[in-house]
Amino acid sequence: MNVDYKEIIRPKLTPKRYFHSLCVAEEAVILAEKYGCDTEKAYLAGVLHDIMKDISKEEMLKMFKEFDIILTDVEKQAPKLWHAILGSEYIRRELKIDDEEIISAVRYHTTAKPDMTLLEKIIYLADFTSQDRDYNGVDEMRIAVREDLTVAMKEALKFSVADLVSQEKAIHPDTIAAYNQVFMNM
Ligand SMILES: [Fe+2]
Ligand SMILES: [Fe+2]
């Protein structure tokens, strides 16, 4: 890596989020090694995945305008999804990342989507199982992700959907489509 992307994300993130980003990158490398994915891409996508997460809502809305990004109604009322949409465009436009796989892994790390690539799945799951994570069920998720990627995707999507339902929040169509795909065994 010629550019030190860690130093690019550091001033944009809280110390906690910076640490999380590095943990996700490390976890992504472990999963990439295990499942035969490019480890450098996995590391970089992990480092960058939350690059826009600590930007203020106002700043994000400004950047959406600047980047000509039109949010759907579901996206508008779910600010938690914004950093992924914005992050993928930011790394393309401002950091000149031209690897579509990395861009897409950042884009879908929150919602997931059907037909995810190996790298997309790895970043999505590494975000669940990185060393800094500490939620009810994280140990089971860590075991699953080291045993079988498909089983882990099922568990992670179940967790996400159930979590949104319990909060009575809307579910992004990409998440529903991803969930349906893994549980219809297509
Ligand atoms: Fe995120
Ligand atoms: Fe994250």
Q: Walk me through the domains of the chain, giving residue ranges and CATH numbers.
A: 5-183 (1.10.3210.10)
Residue 5 has pLDDT above 60, yes or no: yes
- Write the CB contacts of 50 (distance below 8 Å, at least 6 apart in sequence): 9, 13, 17, 20, 21, 24, 83, 87
Residue 13 has pLDDT above 60, yes or no: yes
pLDDT at 69 (0 to 100): 98
Q: How far is the centre of ligand 2, averaged over its atoms, from the C-alpha of 86 (Å)? A: 14
Q: How far is the centre of ligand 2, averaged over its atoms, from the C-alpha of 24 (Å)? A: 7
pLDDT at 185 (0 to 100): 64
pLDDT at 1 (0 to 100): 57
pLDDT at 79 (0 to 100): 96
Q: What is the mean pLDDT of the chain?
A: 97
Q: Which ligand is nearest to the CA of 128?
A: 2
Q: Which ligand is nearest to the CA of 17?
A: 2
Q: How far is the centre of ligand 1, averaged over its atoms, from the C-alpha of 38 (Å)? A: 21
Q: Which pTM was predicted?
A: 0.96
Rounded Cα–Cα distance for residues 76 and 87 (Å): 16
Q: Which ligand is nearest to the CA of 24?
A: 2
Q: Which ligand is nearest to the CA of 127?
A: 2
**DSSP secondary structure, 120-133, as one string:** HHHHHHHHHHSTT-
- State whether residue 23 is helix, strand or coil: helix
Q: How far is the centre of ligand 2, averaged over its atoms, from the C-alpha of 138 (Å)? A: 14
Q: Which ligand is nearest to the CA of 52?
A: 1
CA atoms within 13 A on the CB side of 56: 3
Q: How far is the centre of ligand 2, averaged over its atoms, from the C-alpha of 21 (Å)? A: 6
- 91-123 pLDDT, tens digit per residue, is 999 999 999 999 999 999 999 999 999 999 999
Q: What letters, b where the CB count within 10 A reaches 16 and e where it falls short, cover 105-119?
A: bbbbbbbbbeebebb
- Write the CB contacts of 76 (distance below 8 Å, at least 6 apart in sequence): none
Q: How far is the centre of ligand 1, averaged over its atoms, from the C-alpha of 83 (Å)? A: 7
> Letter for the amino acid at 121?
K
Using only C-alpha atoms, the chain has a radius of gyration, in whole angstroms, of 16
